[in-house]
Amino acid sequence: MNFAGVAGAGLGLRRELIPALKNGVPHAIDFFEVAPENWIDLGGAAGRDLCNFTERYPFVCHGLSLSIGSPAPLDEEFLHKIRHFLDQHRISLYTEHLSYCSDDGHLYDLLPIPFTGEAVRYVAARIRRAQDILERRIAMENASFYLQSPIAEMSEADFIRAVLAEADCSLHLDVNNVYVNSINHGYDAIEFIRSMPSERIVYMHMAGHYNESENLIIDTHGADVIDPVWSLLDEAYHIHGVAPTLLERDFNIPPLAQLVHEVERIAAIQQQHADKGHEFYARRAS
């Protein structure tokens, strides 16, 4: 499936960046990403700004609050709003976190789903229902987490693969999250990436983080990408091929020109692998 022209290197569309982007979108930026929760039902000048960009550039939606692993019922009314938003702005690709953030109310954090067979079946059924409502295949993102569930029956990698297969959905590979979890939980980041199914990867993220201590990294999206994460992106392309990749920056947002340098670095690594024949996988389930 071709996601409406989404390819290359992208940048999250933050409202702080809109004045600079109105003066001209740098050539390095091939597409943008928004969290639909921040824009649904938004009118006025901000709504017009969004339409001005979605009419001219490819977009991806990366959700924040679907809470696919929550014990609370799936919010189908919210999903219908998401579908309308995607249709309105002609956005094909919608991704969400393989985690949960709500029960009786929103918990304002992304919490890990226990890595069990029961959880695989539960989460996969909710993903299938979400895909039915959205009328499009979605991609689940490997999430950062800080505590291991005491009832885990499988590894994080095994859990992700099982959910993808059971739900028949796509994978949004967050390279920084792999690095964060590898430090916090003591596993080999390259082997984790190698274990992911190439044919399901449709999208990647790059971001910065905060070093709380030697063995604890907090996934903040509030700093520059560090060299080990850049190296991991290079390895991910070598293993799986080049996929559309976005730079996330959610706070401590620097001037646009500084962010563009990191977007250009993504594009440069992509070009190196394209030159070597590591093209983006063409296998796409519709």
Q: For residue 93, what is the domain's CATH number? A: 3.20.20.150
Query: Is 133 inside a domain boundary?
Result: yes
What is the tally of structural domains in the chain? Answer: 1
d(CA 172, CA 97): 9
Dihedral sign for Cα atoms in the order 177, 99, 133, 13: negative
Task: Please compute the mean of the pLDDT values over residues 36-62 and round it to a whole number.
Answer: 93
Collect all residues with Cβ–Cβ distance below 8 Å to 30 and sequence separation of at least 6: 6, 7, 8, 9, 10, 58, 244, 267
Query: Is 74 inside a domain boundary?
Result: yes
Collect all residues with Cβ–Cβ distance below 8 Å to 12 and sequence separation of at least 6: 32, 33, 34, 62, 246, 247, 248, 249, 250
Q: How confident is the model at residue 286 (pLDDT cuts 50, 70, 90)?
A: very low
Give the per-residue pLDDT at 54.
96
With CA atoms as reference, report the closest residue to 250 among 285, 222, 212, 231.
222
Query: Is 1 inside a domain boundary?
Result: no
Q: List 96's β-bridge partners, or say none.
A: 140
Percent of the chain with pLDDT over 70: 90
Cα dist. 221→22, 177, 185, 246, 248 in Å?
24, 10, 19, 12, 6
Query: Is 155 inside a domain boundary?
Result: yes
pTM flag (> 0.85)? yes
Query: Is 286 inside a domain boundary?
Result: no
Q: List 139's β-bridge partners, or say none.
A: 95, 170
Task: Output the CA angle 147-152-154, nearest 5 degrees.
Answer: 115
Phi/psi for 52 (5° steps) reads -60, -35
Q: How confident is the model at residue 227 (pLDDT cuts 50, 70, 90)?
A: very high
d(CA 64, CA 37): 7
d(CA 144, CA 147): 10
Evaluate if residue 209 carries a pLDDT over 60: yes
Q: Which domain holds residue 251?
A: 9-275
